[in-house]
Amino acid sequence: MTRVFTILITIVLPTLASPLNRDFQNLQIPLRAYDLPDGRIGSQDVEHKGMRALLDRYAPVVKLSIEEDYYPSSIDYMLPHYNYVEHDNGDRIPANHSLLTPDHLDELPSAGGGLWMSIATAHNPQPFLDSKSAWLLGPAGQKGQMKRRADGRGLIEEPVYGFWVDQGRGIVDLWYWTFYPFNFGKPVGPFGILGNHVGDWEHLRMRTINGSAVSVDYHSHNGGAFSAGTTRWSDVVKVDDRPVGYSAAGSHGLWPIPGEHVYAELLNLFKIADITDDDGAVWDTKGRVEPVQYWTDPERRRRLWHRDDDAWLNYRGRWGNKGENDCWWYRAVGICQIVDAPPGPNRNFGSPPDCIVAPLVWESSTYAFYLSSPLVTWAENHGIAYVQVEQTCSRPRKRKDDGDDDDDDDGGGGCDGDDEDEDGVRIADYLHDTTLEEDLKMWSVKGMTPFAGRAQHRASVLPCKGVRSAVKSYRIALCMKNGKCISTSGDRKVCSYQEGKKGYRFGRAVDVDDVDEWRWNV
Ligand SMILES: *[C@@H]1O[C@H](CO)[C@@H](O)[C@H](O)[C@H]1NC(C)=O
Ligand SMILES: *[C@@H]1O[C@H](CO)[C@@H](O)[C@H](O)[C@H]1NC(C)=O
């Protein structure tokens, strides 16, 4: 039977389209230097502005798959199991278990930067796990240890690590991280199970505005086109007004609905899919969220240095063994059976959601947005007089009849907003870029607005013209009095929807109310 599993697809990326590489690189920045303690930035205050209560208010319900073997755990479960620490350069030192504890982990050299906490026993199930390593199945995965609800479904009671990120103006992002001892990979034909690794951190990210949820970002496989991405709160499956996430068997990435989520093809031959369902163990995290303050405040954005039992959050290393790259197929496929363990959760939280959710409109697009204070200062010092908005439009190029694509019934991602509504609209139409960049024609439409400092900017832009054309993203540029633009931002993806309809739809004009201040690095 098909079991399900992971590929740490990052390593397959060189064989995939370029926009995917960009997502990958963004996520590889995380091991950047921390802000060091400066005396003022002390321990966190978990009662700060009611954040503990907010984290618990939206504590997610994780539905594990009926096919799952590798159950969740906690850092307290995992730390005593590491046997040695390996340095990037290959040096190994035996684990000193007075340091591998939640309150001392950051006392490893360089707070663990460049280090890999590793286990000595077998960790490459093909497909069966060596019995000496059975602890990798997690507490609930041990024989006879699964608790049961009245209806017979498994019951998981592990903690989740909940980070809040105060973005200012009432915007608070909640990042819920889960920790599994092991990630079980995916079967890929003759190569066996690819993508196994020790230590598996996964997360779900919620956007709240003035205490109310507005969207959830579901992540798996390093995000980007491999994930479901941003889902509107009205489309999120809920229990008790809290979000439900469906965890992929083996690899544990979170998805908004049960089903098969194909996210890659290897060598154009092997379909790689996450499988989720609503039949396995239920992990209700309410009352089990360990609150963590990410940074000081929205203006300074200084990451906290954590103390005492929270010191493990300062650890900068990896949570499992190094991967392999010496398999014979590595050059062709880019991934072996065992891949690198991930870094920890406490990183990279300042970014906006995967995409900006915006309603479709019939006339011109409107873009309302803010500039961050460092950017405003820069603009003032450089004589900026205007801000230009550049709306990226796309439409599919004419298709060649390739004939092998027999179930292309949902319009392939290019339908207009005004039709094709009648049936078969899924709860969450993922904005996967299923159309390769080279199959899209792309162009941009521009608008200008006077530079307004910290106040809200608002620019009007003509709609994308043409049949099946759609707004895809936008970016801004800072321009001088003579109209010359001297600095351009990165792109922010736009996910458009139609009022009163579920899911996302594509269309020619949108009404964007972008609450994340522009700062060039995100
Ligand atoms: C383990 O770490 C503790 C705390 O830093 C230290 O006192 C002890 O000497 C170390 N043990 C070994 C065997 O290195
Ligand atoms: C949050 O509420 C405050 C006070 O009512 C309001 O000024 C602010 O605009 C709200 N935030 C957002 C992002 O809507």
141/398: higher pLDDT: 141
- Residues 6 or more apart in contact with residue 307 via CB below 8 angstroms: 42, 43
Q: Is the CB of 99 under 6 A from ligand 1?
A: yes
- The tens digit of pLDDT for each residue in 181-233 reads 999 999 888 899 999 999 999 999 999 999 999 999 998 876 555 678 899 99
Closest ligand to C-alpha of residue 368 is 2
Q: Which amino acid is at 424?
A: G
467-474 average pLDDT score: 92
- How many angstroms separate the Cα of 140 from the Cα of each of 60, 278, 372? 19, 18, 46
Q: What is the pTM of this model?
A: 0.86
Q: Residue whose CA is closest, atom 5 of ligand 1?
A: 99
Measured in angstroms, how far is the CA atom of residue 455 from the centroid of ligand 2?
14
Over pLDDT 70: what percentage of the chain? 81
Q: What angle do CA 197, 202, 205 make, to 5 degrees?
A: 160
Query: Is the per-residue pLDDT at 421 higher than 70?
Result: no
Q: Is the CB of 515 under 6 A from ligand 2?
A: yes
Measured in angstroms, how far is the CA atom of residue 95 from the centroid of ligand 1?
10
- Hey, where are the domains in the chain? 51-333, 356-397+430-518
DSSP string, 319-386: SS------STTHHHHS--SB-PPPB-SSS---SPPSEEEEEB-SS-EEEEE-B-HHHHHHHHHTTEEE
Q: Residue whose CA is closest, atom 3 of ligand 1?
A: 98
Closest ligand to C-alpha of residue 93 is 1
